[in-house]
Homo-oligomer: A and B are copies of this chain.
Amino acid sequence: MSAITGCKERVNDSLAGKCCLVLGAGGFIGGHVSRELHRRGALVHGFGRRQSYPEALDGIRFTKAEFSDRATLARAVDGADYVFHLLASGTPESSNRDPVADLEAGVSGTLHMLAICRAAGVRKVIFVSSGGTVYGVPASVPIDECAQTNPICAYGVSRLAIEKYLHLYLRLHGLDYAVLRAANPFGPWQDPQRRQGVIPAIMHSVLHKRPAEIWGDGFVVRDFIYVADVAEAVALVATYSGEQRVFNVGSGVGRSVLNVVSDIVGVLGGEAARILYKPARDSDVPVNILNTALIRRELGWVARTDWLVGLELTASWLQRRYDRTFPIRQLV
C-alpha cells in the first residue's frame, strides 16, 4: 500500500474477504482491477460481455452476461460489498456517431444497476470515469477536479451524467460512491487492434514494421498512466472514508503523441518509426493533463510506475501475446 502518512485513517486497507463485483472485468482496466483486488485478498467476481484476454482473470470467478441482462446482474450484485463499474459504452469516437446508443447503453444501464445496488445494500459503488473526456478543452492544465466540464464527445457527456447520478443516489438513498477520473491508461491487455489506446496500437505497428497511424499532427498532449497504478487507486478508494468523492487519476505529466512514438521506438530498440498521419478526430481535445493533488492528499496515491518501465512492460506483453519472434530483448 502506498498510503503516505496522514492518509491511513482515511484509507483502511481491508479488502481481504470482501465481496467485490467488477463490472467490465473482461476488459482492459477491469482485468487489472480484478487482479489488484484479488491480490489484496478480496473475493472477486467478474462480470462482463466477454473476456478479451482470459489469462488476465486466472483464478477469478467470471459471469459472462450483457449489462442489460438485469436478472443476471441482480444475482451477481447480491451479496457484494463493493461494486466496481468499469463498463464502457463504446469509445469517444464511436459515441459521437451515435450519442443515443451511448446514452442508453451507458447511462440508462447504470441507473438500473444503481437501483439493484441500492436494493442489495451494496456499501459503495466505485466508478472509473474518464479524466480524458469529461473536461473537454481545458482552460488551463493541469486540470483539477473543480474545472469546468464541457466534453467534446458524447462518451464524456454520458460519463459525466453517471457521475451526477451517483451523487444523486448518495444524497437520496445513502448509496456511497467514488469516482476516479482516469487519464489515458495504458499497459498489458489493452488490445492493440481495437483502438482502445494509442500506445499498444503504435507499438504493434512498429513491431510489425508498419507505419504508426496517428490522428492529427501528433502534437496533441495526453496524460498517460500505467494501468496497474490506476488499479491501485481503484482498490484504495474502495475503503476510503473521507469527504471527497471525485478524484483525478493520472501521471500529471503531459506527453505529445509524437514524443510517445519516439519513446516507443527507443524502448523497442528499433529505427525511427514511419508515421501515417490521419485526419484529426473531432473527439480529441488538444491537451489533457490531470492535477492529482487531491488523490495524493486524500489517498496517499501517486502514479508509481516510471514511464519507460511502463512502456517496456507493455511491449513485453505485446511481444509475448502476439508474436514471440519480435526481435526485442526480453524486458520482463
A positions within 8 Å CB-CB of B: 96, 99-100, 103-104, 107-108, 111-112, 136, 146, 148-154, 157, 160-161, 164-165, 167-168, 171-172, 282
Contacts and interface: CB of A to CB of B under 8 A. Distances in A.
Given A153-B168, A161-B157, A282-B171, A103 B99 contact: no
A103 B107 contact: yes
Contact of A108 (B96, B100, B282): B100
A151 B161 CA distance: 11
Contacts of A107: 103, 107, 161
B171 A152 contact: yes
A172 B103 contact: no
B99 A165 contact: yes
25 contacts: A96-B168, A99-B111, A100-B108, A100-B111, A100-B112, A103-B103, A103-B108, A104-B104, A104-B108, A107-B107, A107-B161, A146-B148, A149-B164, A150-B164, A151-B164, A151-B168, A152-B167, A152-B172, A154-B168, A157-B161, A157-B164, A157-B165, A160-B161, A160-B164, A171-B282
Nearest to A98: B111
3 nearest CB pairs, A to B: A157-B164, A161-B161, A152-B171
A189 B109 CA distance: 37
